[in-house]
Structures are given as C-alpha cells and as structure tokens.
Structure 1
C-alpha cells in the first residue's frame, strides 16, 4: 500500500466533514439549490480547464452515460436533498444520522456487485452506527423526525448509496478530471431548473458565501469527491463507505472549535466506538486481498 493510499481515507474524512461547516456558513445568505448550481458550474469549469490543459482522455459515450447517472445520485440528489432538508428545519445532527445509514445499506447491497461482507465487517458496521448515534444523540429531536425534510434526507441517503454502487459496478475506472466534468454537468443540468422553478435564486456574495463557495469547489468537491472516487477505484465499496461513519465525529469537533457547540463525554465515547467499528470494517486479514 502506497503512502497516498494510507493518507487518502483520513484526508477524505476531514474534507467531507467540512461540508456541514460550509452549509452553516452559506445557509443564511444563499438558497440551497442556487448555491449548489453555482458550485457545480464552478467544478465543471475547473475540471474542464485541467482536463484540456493535460489533454486528459475522455470516457466513451457509454461510460459518459454511466457517469452521468452516478453523478445524479452522488451529487445532485444527495447534496440537494441534504441542503434543502436542513434549510427546511431538519437539524444537521438528524440529517447526519440518516445519511450515515449509508454503510448499512452498502453492506447489505454489496453482494449485488460481487463483494462479500465478512461477519467481522457486519459487526463493524453495527458498532459504527451505534457510535454515530452516541455522537449526535443530543442533537436529535422528535419534532424534526417527520415531514418533507425527513423524506428529502431519506432520498439523499438512497441516492448516494445507489450512485456509489452504480459507479463501482458500471464505471469504476475513469480519468478524474474528465469524469467529473461529465458528472457535475449532469448534476448542474438537473439542479439548475429546479432552483429556477422552486427558489427565488437568492445569493448574497458576501465574505461568508465566497469562502463557502471557494471551499466547496476547490476542496470539498474537487478534492473530496476525487478522493472518494480514488478510494472506490482501489478498494472495496463497503470499506470506503464505512469511513463516512467518522464524519459526524469530526464535524462535531470542528463545530466545537469554530462555533463553541457542546462536545460532551457521551459524544467522545461515541467517537471511540465509531473508530472501532470502522477499523473492523476496513482492516484486512493477512489472507485477504484487494478487490
């Protein structure tokens, strides 16, 4: 295993965890689908410039179609569902808990793409989920557990799970620059009409929004998504998705440092349980080989 292969998971977790921080920065000043449309357009422009400068290979028409379908799930439906649900009142902790059911779904559906989930990994999936619940339990409220925001977040969960499995099954190998041009162009084509139809498309270009947009395009999307695709290419989808269990823990630490949010003993204990669960999922026996 190369040094980058070891660095990729913790770097991905850190970058992905900043998503809630970015959402908190931008939410008061930008409609969610409008912000995401600008974000997707920025990624398309950035990756297209990089691809043209490097003369990167473009996927075949068939692979473009598969990438577009996966992009609608991983980008448009997932991000759109989470951002709109939070804007409509669903607490970020509740949203994080729902979306972090993804490793459970991925583990259950992994046999469909030829992956075997060992009993040790199932134990890890269960422990990881328990740890996530402990971390964000104090943020959950019964009143916010019903209605359209909950349905939007469930849609986001199904979308990112389906998109991840679809991509791993049909187009696991592609150039990250040209592939992301295709994926984010598809996400933009789906999101922009919805923003125009459902929102006043309000966005105030102040310092908070500019920082959130720059971080979203350059780090969260171009960096975080690229790392996720790289890990999917070189590892098992069950192990890759399980790293997302660590995101609420890292986000909670960031919110504690940046915004003074509470971080109690229960949350710290949950982080430990989550770490153990993820270790059981991703650790390989000496006889195991990479997929």
Structure 2
C-alpha cells in the first residue's frame, strides 16, 4: 500500500522514486547482452519461442494459483493479443532478424533508440498528451546521446535494405505496442494479461523456429542460463515493469527511459562480454541521462 501511495503522481514517480525506472532500465538492457550469449546455441526464433513459451507457462501457473482475473470479454482479449503481437512478437522478431541478416548491434540500438521521439509524437496525436518545449529538447539530446554511445560501432556492413527494414519493424513494434497498451490495456492484470501476450508471441515465433531452424538447440549450461534469464527477467520482469510504468506515468515520459538502454547495454557488455567503451560512449551516456531528466522532471 505504501508503494501505491508513493506512485500515485507521475511527477512524484519520476522525480522522487527512482527504484522502478532504474530496475527496468537494467533488466531491459540485460536482455541484449544475455541474448547474445544465447544465440550461438540456437536460432533466433528458437530462442524467442523458448523465451516466450516458458514465460507464458510460468505466468499461467501464477495466474491459476492466485485465481487472477482473466479478460472479461472478447474485446479485452483482443486488445491483449494486439499488444502481444506488437511489443513481444513484432519487436523481437524484427530485432533478431535484423541482427541475423547483418545489421550491427550498434546500428540496431541506434534505430530502436529513436523510439521515445516516435512515442511522444504518437502520444501527442492519439493520447492527447502535451509535450513541452523542454521535453522536445530532451528528446533531441537523447537521440544525440544514443548516437554517441553507438558511434564506434557504426560502419559499413553486409546488411541490405531488408535487414534494416527488419530493424525498423522492431522500432515500430515497441512504439505502437507502448501506445496501444497505454490506451487500451492499462488496467490489465499483469499475470493473465502477460500470459495471453506471451502465448500469442510464442505461436508467432514457433512457425519460423520449426520451418527455418528445425528447432535445433545445443543445451549447454550457458544456453540454459541465458534462456531462463530471458524468460523470467526480461519477458516477465522487465515487460511487467514497463506496463507498471505506463500505468503510472505518461507514455512519452516512460518512453524517454529507452534513451538509457543503449548506454546501459554498453556498460553491461563491457562488464560481461569484455566489449570496449570509448570516450564518446561515456559522453553519450551522460547526454542520455540528461535527456531523461529533461523529459521526465516535473514543471
């Protein structure tokens, strides 16, 4: 009850309570690093099928044990299906396809890092949220910061137009899904709602996993750890936190947290995978932190 009282105001939430946003950023960012650990042992759609399927089963068990409420109408169920298709299936299928076809991780992060700008525009047009001048300034600083974070990873590659189109599909999936969830599913139960969304995403990923990859898996300790982390920490934990943040705050403000994802991912990759961090990355990380502060601080 105390947590609910503290989170009653979006301004209080974003300026006075940092625990949930910080936890969300770290959990969401970890998915890129742990995903990189998993992909060598299974195809991308196979990884996604296991990630979504295990998470859906866990949430089903939790929902049944707690007798959580399920959607009361076909309309409510339909809204959950749409969010699952957008945030889970479309976003991650597009992202993994882009990486598989040769788009560098830095360029993928840069493309998806523009999500807060598109979300703010969509929230202004479709949700009636007002975007102040300082927030537009913050969004510009965020795009610049993301560019600085991944600049050292940019360069010519073998990816074609179709690969970059897949990355744009991932960007559209998370953007449209965030807006749709805010408008139609803000009151959903996280257990049953998440179960429905992940079940839909599992079915979408299963077909290419079977037909394109033969559902081949090397069951190494690393893969078991990575798959479990992606299912529990990312598909359940991070996504649930995203929905909680959307419920408590404005869509544009919540989306601005994504500016920090590339920077935190770079820090985690440095710690876990040994990837290097250049001076521009550190400057970019600072810029993105300032951008989030500009976008989310109270008037």
Q: Which runs of 5+ in 1 are unaligned?
A: 286-291
Residue 136 of structure 2 is aligned to residue 122 of structure 1? yes
In the other structure, the counterpart of 1:39 is 51
Residues 145-165 of structure 1: CA deviation (Å, up to 9, x unaligned): 642221111011011111111
In the other structure, the counterpart of 1:270 is 284
- Equivalent of 1:58 in 50, 57, 70: 70
Q: Which runs of 5+ in 2 are unaligned?
A: 8-12
Residue 88 of structure 2 is aligned to residue 69 of structure 1? no
Question: Aligned partners of 1:144 and 1:123: how far apart in 2?
Answer: 34
- In the superposition, the TM-score normalised over structure 1's length comes to 0.94
Within a 5 Å distance, the mapping from 1:89-238 to structure 2 comes to 89-111=102-124, 112-144=126-158, 146-238=160-252
Question: Aligned partners of 2:136 and 2:96: how far apart in 1?
Answer: 30
1:144/1:131 CA distance change after superposition, 3 Å: farther
Residue 97 of structure 2 is aligned to residue 84 of structure 1? yes
- Asked if the contact 1:51/1:178 (under 8 Å) is kept, the reply is yes
Question: Aligned partners of 2:201 and 2:257: how far apart in 1?
Answer: 24
Residues 229-286 of structure 1: CA deviation (Å, up to 9, x unaligned): 000111101011110110111111111112221112111111111111110001111x
Question: Aligned partners of 2:46 and 2:39: how far apart in 1?
Answer: 11
Aligned residue pairs, count = 285
Residues 206-235 of structure 1: CA deviation (Å, up to 9, x unaligned): 111101111011111111000000001111
- Asked if the contact 2:39/2:47 (under 8 Å) is kept, the reply is no
Q: How far did residue 188 of structure 1 move?
A: 1.3
1:104/1:145 CA distance change after superposition, 3 Å: farther
Residues 116-137 of structure 1: CA deviation (Å, up to 9, x unaligned): 1111111111101100100110
- Equivalent of 2:24 in 8, 12, 36: 12
- In the superposition, the TM-score normalised over structure 2's length comes to 0.92
Residue 6 of structure 2 is aligned to residue 2 of structure 1? yes
Q: How far did residue 38 of structure 1 move?
A: 1.1
CA RMSD of aligned residues (A): 1.4
Question: Aligned partners of 2:176 and 2:80: how far apart in 1?
Answer: 13
| SS of match in other structure, 2:168 | helix
In the other structure, the counterpart of 1:289 is none
Question: Aligned partners of 2:207 and 2:282: how far apart in 1?
Answer: 42
- Asked if the contact 2:152/2:278 (under 8 Å) is kept, the reply is no
- Asked if the contact 2:102/2:157 (under 8 Å) is kept, the reply is no
Residue 35 of structure 2 is aligned to residue 27 of structure 1? no
